[in-house]
């Protein structure tokens, strides 16, 4: 790729907003995504990835299909040439990102469905799964694909809202409007459009239709992350679901409103653990849009991941042992392969310590244990599941809640511990 001329570079550099400029400078210093997130006061690295992706797009760099973070590589030599004072010595010496340090990813059937869905007018994709199932990685890939199509993208994370805002529906939706204005680099004019007599949902929709989205000429992919935080608010979670439904319904209209909402592609991302405290008969957003459940890896997908980690030395029997202990849970499998890359590690040692207090997964296990102890009746049911030597037959509501927490796998009417790690760990501690 031919490097741009200085004049073009300077023009694009001047277009960076304050937050993008800060993210870029920290990135060129070699700071990690986590450190940048802390510096710009966001709760996780997804917001950092969003800003870096937009910076790359501004300078004309896009990933090719199937590539990960390649666009970032192109930024470094560009700034070495025109603004070398911003680039750390280490990045100057080595502007290549080692493949060993890139996130490993296995393409699954749901990926292609999401790529196709995001191209539809007024698309709504719901990515729901227990924690650490790969939701963020999938969102990143969908956004990459949308960027390749020339779509604008915006990622709004409810975890970034203060607790005072989260407890008040009016404040929360006003926060959504102001934050979205900031993400789109559009002046905040909420006071000019807000009228309390009309109701909260109507005000938000009016602000988007009549101001923020009115003049959009290109599709916008709007990602709402950590929506489970909103689902936890019993006083208004139903109203919020109605709001999202109304946007989806508006996109099906053939009038002026429909033309606006057809340009919006909405991705709603939420963990399902909150379902353990919700009524099974009032599942949020049931039946709306494309629902992506993110199932566990199959054995073939685990083997693909092993090859990415260069664990070709694992025998068929060892792969079977690993699959029994960790199932197909992406977080456990990825962490296990990462552990096996450390010096003096071995599969035998990993299998031995995993269900103990020395486990590499101990924080994850303790977190699940803490959640179970908040629901004594559910904990007692799960104790029965992990201590039985045969499949458990549970009530539908119990299965729904345990499956939403990622604790069991269900085959027909039978319920099993999700993996042998859970069986060993929880049978001792419940």
Q: What is the pLDDT of residues 206-252, one digit of tens each?
A: 999 999 998 888 999 999 999 999 988 888 988 999 999 999 999 99
Rounded distance between C-alpha atoms, residue 291 and residue 282, angstroms: 16
**Total number of domains in the chain:** 4
Q: Answer yes or no: is 318 within a domain.
A: yes
Question: What integer pLDDT is reported at residue 1 of this predicted model?
Answer: 44
The reply to whether 163 and 191 lie within a common domain is: yes
Could you say which of 334, 353, 372 is where a domain stops? Answer: 353
Same domain flag for 130 and 181: yes
**Residue range 38-62: average pLDDT?**
83
pLDDT at residue 126 tops 80 = yes
Whether residues 282 and 303 share a domain: the answer is no
Confidence of residue 22 (pLDDT cuts 50, 70, 90): very high
Are 256 and 97 a contacting pair, CB within 8 Å?
Answer: no
Phi, psi of 102 (to 5 degrees): -80, 145
Residues 406 and 313 grouped into a single domain:
no
From 248, 274, 292, the end of a domain falls on: 292
Whole-number Cα distances in Å, 4 to 61, 77, 189? 11, 11, 37
Q: How many helices (H) and strands (E) does the chain have?
A: 23, 7
Query: What's the DSSP call for residue 98?
Result: P
Question: Can you give the pLDDT at residue 3?
Answer: 56
Q: Are residues 287 and 310 in the same domain?
A: no
DSSP output for 13-47: HHT--HHHHHHHHHHHTT--HHHHHHHTT-SSTHH
Q: Which residue has the tokens 């698309």?
A: 123
Angstrom distances, CA of residue 296 to CA of 79, 172, 319, 327, 340: 41, 34, 16, 8, 21
Are 303 and 230 members of one domain? no
For the cut 50, the answer to whether the pLDDT of residue 258 exceeds it is: yes
Q: Where a domain ends, among 243, 269, 292?
A: 292
58-106 residue pLDDT tens: 888 765 444 444 567 778 888 887 888 898 877 776 544 444 445 578 8
**Is 189 among the domain residues?**
yes
* Structure letter (DSSP) for residue 160: G
148 and 246, same structural domain?
yes
Same domain, 264 and 121: yes
Whole-number pLDDT of residue 165: 94
- What mean pLDDT do residues 362-387 have? 94
Look at residue 68 in the predicted model and tell me its pLDDT.
46
CA–CA distance, 422 with 364 (Å, rounded to integer): 11
For residues 257 and 182, state if they share a domain. yes
Assess if residue 102 is contained within a domain. no
On whether residue 410 sits in a domain, the answer given is yes
d(Cα 312, Cα 42) in Å, to the nearest integer? 38
Q: What percentage of the chain reaches a pLDDT higher than 90?
A: 53
131 inside domain: yes
- Give the mean pLDDT of the chain: 87
62 shares its domain with 159: no
Look up the CATH number of the domain holding residue 202: 3.40.50.300
pLDDT at residue number 63? 56
> For 145-203, how does the pLDDT look when each residue is reduced to its tens digit (9 = 90+)?
898 888 999 999 999 999 899 999 999 999 999 999 999 989 999 999 999 888 999 99
Q: What is the pLDDT of residue 400?
A: 87
Edge-to-edge, what's the strand order for the sheet holding 264-271?
A: 152-157, 220-225, 264-271, 124-129, 290-292
Token pair for 386 = 């992990």
Supply the pLDDT for residue 70.
53
Contact 348, 374 (CB under 8 A): no
Residues 88 and 115 in one domain: no
Question: What per-residue confidence (pLDDT) applies to 48?
Answer: 87
Lowest pLDDT segment from 49-63, 127-141, 142-156, 323-337: 49-63
State both tokens at 10: 């300077």
Residue 397 included in any domain: yes
- Report yes or no on 1 lying in a domain: no
Dist. CA 53–CA 166, nearest whole Å: 28
User: pLDDT category, 314, cuts 50, 70, 90?
Assistant: confident
- Tell me, yes or no, whether 162 lies in a domain: yes
Per-residue confidence at 277, pLDDT binned at 50, 70, 90? Answer: low
Domain that holds residue 159: 109-292
Which is more confident, 273 or 28? 28
Half-sphere exposure of 194 toward its Cβ, with a 13 Å CA cutoff?
15
Same domain, 74 and 118: no
């Amino acid at each position: 790729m031919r490097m741009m001329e200085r004049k073009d570079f300077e023009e694009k550099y001047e277009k960076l907003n304050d937050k993008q400029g800060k993210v870029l400078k920290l990135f060129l210093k070699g700071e990690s995504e986590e450190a940048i997130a802390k510096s710009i006061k966001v709760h996780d690295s997804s917001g950092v990835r969003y800003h870096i992706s937009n910076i790359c797009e501004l300078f004309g760099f896009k990933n090719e299909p199937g590539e990960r973070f390649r666009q970032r590589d192109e930024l470094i030599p560009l700034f070495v040439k025109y603004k070398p004072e911003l680039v750390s010595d280490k990045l100057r010496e080595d502007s290549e990102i080692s493949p060993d340090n890139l996130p490993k990813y296995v393409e699954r059937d749901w990926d292609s469905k999401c790529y196709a869905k995001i191209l539809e007018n007024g698309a709504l994709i719901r990515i729901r799964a227990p924690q650490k199932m790969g939701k963020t990685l999938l969102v990143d890939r969908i956004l990459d694909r949308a960027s390749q199509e020339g779509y604008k993208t915006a990622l709004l994370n409810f975890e970034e809202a203060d607790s005072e805002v989260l407890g008040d529906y009016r404040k929360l939706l006003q926060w959504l409007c102001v934050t979205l204005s900031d993400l789109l680099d559009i002046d905040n004019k909420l006071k000019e459009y807000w009228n309390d007599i009309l109701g909260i949902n109507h005000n938000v929709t009016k602000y988007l239709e009549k101001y923020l989205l009115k003049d959009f000429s290109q599709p916008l992919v709007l990602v709402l992350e950590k929506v489970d935080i909103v689902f936890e608010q019993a006083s208004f979670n139903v109203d919020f679901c109605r709001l999202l439904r109304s946007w989806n319904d508006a996109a099906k209209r053939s009038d002026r409103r429909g033309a606006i909402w057809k340009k919006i592609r909405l991705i709603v991302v939420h963990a399902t653990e909150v379902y353990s405290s919700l009524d099974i008969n009032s599942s949020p957003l049931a039946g709306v849009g494309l629902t992506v459940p993110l199932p566990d890896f199959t054995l073939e997908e685990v083997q693909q991941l092993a090859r990415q980690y260069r664990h070709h030395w694992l025998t068929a029997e060892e792969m079977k042992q690993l699959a029994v202990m960790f199932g197909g849970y992406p977080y456990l499998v990825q962490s296990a392969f990462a552990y096996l890359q450390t010096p003096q590690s071995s599969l035998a040692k990993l299998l031995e310590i995993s269900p103990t207090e020395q486990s590499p997964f101990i924080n994850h296990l303790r977190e699940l244990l803490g959640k179970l102890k908040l629901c004594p009746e559910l904990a007692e049911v799960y104790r029965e599941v992990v201590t039985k030597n045969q499949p458990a037959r549970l009530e539908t509501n119990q299965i729904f809640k345990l499956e939403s927490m990622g604790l069991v796998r269900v085959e027909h009417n039978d319920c099993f511990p999700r993996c042998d790690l859970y069986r060993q760990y929880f049978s001792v501690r419940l």
